Structure formats: C-alpha cells, structure tokens
Amino acid sequence: MRYLCLLCTVVFTSILFAQTTPKTFKNPILTGFYPDPSICRVDDTYYMVNSSFEWFPGLPIHKSKDLVNWEKIGHGLHRSNQIMYKDGLKNSNGIFAPSIRYHKGTFYIITTMVGQNGNFIITAKDPAGPWSDPMWIKDAPGIDPSLFWDEDGKCYYTGAGIIDGSNREWPGKNGIWMQEIDPDKGILLGKPKQLTYGHASNARWAEGPHLYKINGEYVLLIGEGGTSEFHAVTIFNSKKLWGPYIPNHANPIMTHRHLGYTYPIIQTGHADLVQTQNGDWWSVMLAKRPVDGYSILARETFLAKVEMTKQDSGITPIYNPGKGLLQIEQERPNLPWTPVPQLKTIDEFDSENIDLEWNCLRNYKTPWFKQVNGKMEINLRPQTVNEWKNPSYLAKRVKSHHFEASTNMEFSSKKENEKAGLVLYRKSSIHYQLMKEKNSIVLIKTIAKEVNAEKGISEIIAEKPYREKNVALKIIGDGLNAKFYFGSNKNDLQQIGDTQDLSNFGDEIAWGFNGTYVGMYATSLGERSKKKALFNWFEFKNSK
C-alpha cells in the first residue's frame, strides 16, 4: 500500500509537471523599456543587463535559469553617490548600451555615460550587488563598449567610433575599434585599431560590438542601420584577433527592415550571443511591437535560437533556422523550466526596501521619498517633470499595451503651486499629469508639437472641483487610448476629460531611446515647500 501511494504520487507529480511546463515561450522575454540587452552565463545561470539612459537606478540586472523566465535582482548603478546624473542631462542621454561579462569570479559591466564623462567599468562579485564605483576609461572615444577575454587571458575593449579620421566619407559612417585593456584598472594598453566601418559601403551607424571566439575563429557581432527602420545585426569573421575582419556574406544575419512597418515585430537589432551549458546557442536583441503604427512601449528584449554553421565566410550564426525572423512564439530552450516570482501588482509600501521596479529621472543627492508605516511619503520639491532635472517622480515601466495604474493618495494644500498625483510619462516634452491641486482634480497634457521636439506645450484638458484630502486616482491604457479617473475611493471613480491619444508616446513621434513609465509625482512648481504627499498603495497590472 505504501509503495502504491508513492507510485501514485510520482505519477501525479509527473503529470502535473508535464501540464505546467510549456513547450514554447512568447516574445518579448522582457516587456516594456528594456533595450540593448547583453547577456552572459555562469554555470547554469544567465545574467542580463539593459540600457537605462536617464533613469535611476541604472543598468537593471536580471537572472534566469531557462532564458525565458527572468527575475530582476538589482542594478549596476544603485547608489546615489556611485554616479551623478547632473541637472541638464537631456532626454535619452545617460547610460547607453552596456555589456556584461564574467571572468575568474568577477562580473564586469562596461558602458557609456552619454552627456557626461564617457565610458566606464563597474565590477561585482555578486551580480545582485553591491557594484563598484565607476572606473572611467581615459582616451576611449565613442559609445557601446564591450569586453572580450582571449585564451591567453588578455582582455580587449571593443567600441563604436571612428579613430582613423575617416568618418566623413559618407553620412552616418561609424565603425568598430579595438584596444587591449586592463579591466580591473580601466586602463587601455597598447595602440587602438579600427576593425570595420560596417558590412558594406555606405553602411550606417556600426555600433553595439561583441567579440567572440567560436571554434577557433574570431566573430565580431554588431548592430547597424540606426535603431529605427533600418536596424540590423551583422557579423564579421577573422582568423586572427587583430583582423582583418571580413563581412560575412550572409549579412545582415538578422533584420526585419525588409518587412515593412505593418509587421508585428519591427526594428530588430543590437544583439548578444550566449551558449548554453548544453552547447546550444541563443541570442537576445531589441525590437519593437507597434500598435496601429506607433511603438509606445519603445524597445523591448527578444530571444531567438541560433545555429552556428560553417560556411564560405566562416562561422555564420543562423537566426531561427527555417524562419530567419523573430517569432512571437516558438519552442523554448532545452533548459529546465524555472519560473520566477511574479511581480506584485499592488505595492503597499510595507517591505524593508523599496521595490526594484521603481525608478526616478536622473538621480538625487538625498532621497526625497521613503516608506513610512505602510505609505510612500514623497516630498514636494521645486523640480518638475517638464525639466531635465530630478523631480519627485517615482515610476514603473509600462509593460503592456493594455494596463491599469491606480493609487490612493492623502494630500491637501492651500497653495496654487502645490500638487500631487499620477503621471504617465514618455519624456519631458510628452506626458499626462492627473493631479490633485488646491481645490480640484486636474488633467494636464504636455505634448511636443513636432517630431523629436525636446520642449512640450502644456495645456489643461479638464478640471473638476474636489476638496477632500483623500483621493483615488486611476489611469487605464488601451492601445493608443488612455482614460483618467478620480474619486473618493477606488470603487467610486469618475472619468475626467475625454479619452486621450497616446500616439505621441510612440517612437515614431517621440523618438529618443527611453520608454513609457507611470507613477507617483509631487511638485511645488519652482518654489520651496515643506509639504508631503502620502501614497497608501500603488497598483499596476496588465489588463490583457
């Protein structure tokens, strides 16, 4: 009888496992604003880092056992005194295109701080942190650096830029250069060498380099074409470390540039490769999912299977063999299915530390927010979301075209300049504010009137009288539409203003490299204030 029970348990567990372990996965593997992915493997665990631009904490780091389920474990830039994002740091400036690598017990992230000090390296023994202070690299022009260790133990820096003065030969000409580096001191050694200018004459914006040694051959993987409609992944082959690096005849090895703007996945590029413990190859890269022609979620992280082939050009990665394109759904990697904890939909601000999903614009010298007795307390400060500064705005990435964000807030003021509430934000010139002011609830729209404009025009869309201290606020996003609500509690809400258009949030109008966020905001509009706004909870969920 005991044996029979044990047998039944084993059979039931096997059936349950078979039922709960999917055969396929869905792209993207990181939804929302997660561009420029870089990946490495240590034993059976995978680590990935993404660009963060003007958002802080910067350099989000995820880990996974199966390349599909990813858990955020920390940030490479997580201390306010680790690096300073100065006032005036523009939209989409800041932390560009990082690369994460592991060598002899140490994790390395190398990246660029555009608009300030250039390229730097940080290190950690544990990828969850703490990470070191930046080691700024002298005489390292350009962007998108990466590290490569050869079999002799020497390390090499590859970066995007022109170092031989030939950048004016055609519009958008860029290239990849290399130099030996001491990665533990951040010091370049020897002389630099230009490796390539792209895969063809008149190629544009060669960037995002990663160097590998595969089956005794050096393979240089790069992004090209600019991160919009002509984006692509190309490779170069060489028998020797210093080249020559010859464009592969299969180039571009991954692109959707030929599919037009109506395809469900567009603008693929900026890839990195990783080999599993089983010997299989996979690639992460960025791409976009437009809705009715507008990419409001910006660039996300996708996964593709790669087959390493040997062709006339040398080692040639074939992306999604038989398809050649990114897939919305495909067979998952041959790795143990390892789900991770689901992100909580409601933050009641009762944990020991602030949740890793919260970001702010640029960083702060001293925190202006804190969790107190199950509430998030945010100081009203002079800075606003319309400026290139660090406003009192605590926000999360929007990760779906269909979402709901709501909160319950305690706030009152007798001054016209003091207000607090929710903000749906793409950049300083494009956002919506749902705010409680002196005696009213107001919906404010800030929209740039021209493509890629850095200054927006603000206007009051609607205003309703409201005198209570406590208010519930809610934003519902549905494709290119957004609705805004307020009321005395979450079960008694009324819409304010008409349905609003989110097409301006799309890359096609907003441009730039950042993504869409939603969160809690408080400001005193240029004047000093001692006021605080208390947020009792914040709920964010995908509605589809």
Neighbour tally for 535: CB within 10 Å: 26
Distant-in-sequence, close-in-space partners of 452: CB < 8 Å, separation ≥ 6 = 509, 510, 511, 512
Question: Residue 450: which pLDDT band, with cuts at 50, 70 and 90?
Answer: confident
Is residue 474 within 8 Å of 405, Cβ to Cβ?
Answer: yes
404: annotated active-site residue? no
Cα–Cα–Cα angle for 186, 224, 273, rounded to 5 degrees: 65
Please tell me the predicted confidence (pLDDT) of residue 17: 42
Q: What is the DSSP string of 374-436?
A: TEEEEE-BS--TTSSS--EEEEEE--SSEEEEEEEEE---SSTT-EEEEEEEEETTEEEEEEE
For 315-353, the pLDDT digits (tens) are: 999 999 999 999 999 999 999 999 999 999 999 999 989
Please tell me the predicted confidence (pLDDT) of residue 2: 42
* Separation of alpha carbons 383 and 146, rounded Å: 36
Residue 92 has which token pair? 């989409």
* Separation of alpha carbons 87 and 362, rounded Å: 8
Question: Residue 18: which pLDDT band, with cuts at 50, 70 and 90?
Answer: very low
The dihedral of CA 396, 397, 398, 400: what is its sign?
A: negative
* Separation of alpha carbons 218 and 351, rounded Å: 48
Please tell me the predicted confidence (pLDDT) of residue 526: 96
Overall fold of domain 21-331: Tachylectin-2; Chain A (2.115.10)
The dihedral of CA 437, 440, 443, 448: what is its sign?
A: negative
Please tell me the predicted confidence (pLDDT) of residue 285: 98
Comparison of pLDDT for 1 and 388, the residue scoring more = 388
387: annotated active-site residue? no
**Is pLDDT of 519 > 60?**
yes
Please tell me the predicted confidence (pLDDT) of residue 451: 77
For 482-492, the pLDDT digits (tens) are: 999 999 999 99
Q: What is the DSSP string of 266-315?
A: EEEEEEEEEE-TTS-EEEEEEEE--BTTB-TT--EEEEEEEEEEEETTEE
Edge-to-edge strand list for the sheet holding 300-311 = 266-275, 281-288, 300-311, 314-319
Please tell me the predicted confidence (pLDDT) of residue 452: 75
Report DSSP state, residue 248. Answer: P
Average pLDDT of the segment spanning 275-292:
97
Average pLDDT of the segment spanning 106-122:
96
Strand partners, 463: 442
Distant-in-sequence, close-in-space partners of 488: CB < 8 Å, separation ≥ 6 = 468, 470, 471, 472
Please tell me the predicted confidence (pLDDT) of residue 409: 98
Strand partners, 267: none
Catalytic one of 36, 224, 404, 507: 36
Cα–Cα–Cα angle for 391, 355, 522, rounded to 5 degrees: 25
Amino acid making up residue 20: T
Domain boundaries, the chain: 21-331, 346-542
* Separation of alpha carbons 121 and 115, rounded Å: 17
The arrangement of secondary structure in 346-542, i.e. its CATH architecture, is Sandwich (2.60)
**Is pLDDT of 504 > 70?**
yes
Q: In whole numbers, what is the pLDDT of the chain averaged over residues?
A: 94
Amino acid making up residue 122: I
Is residue 306 within 8 Å of 317, Cβ to Cβ?
Answer: yes
pTM of the complete model: 0.95
Strand partners, 212: 219
The dihedral of CA 24, 30, 36, 40: what is its sign?
A: negative
Region of poorest pLDDT, from 57-66, 223-232, 234-243: 223-232
Of residues 533, 392, 505, the one with CA closest to residue 445: 505
Catalytic one of 54, 66, 144, 207: 207
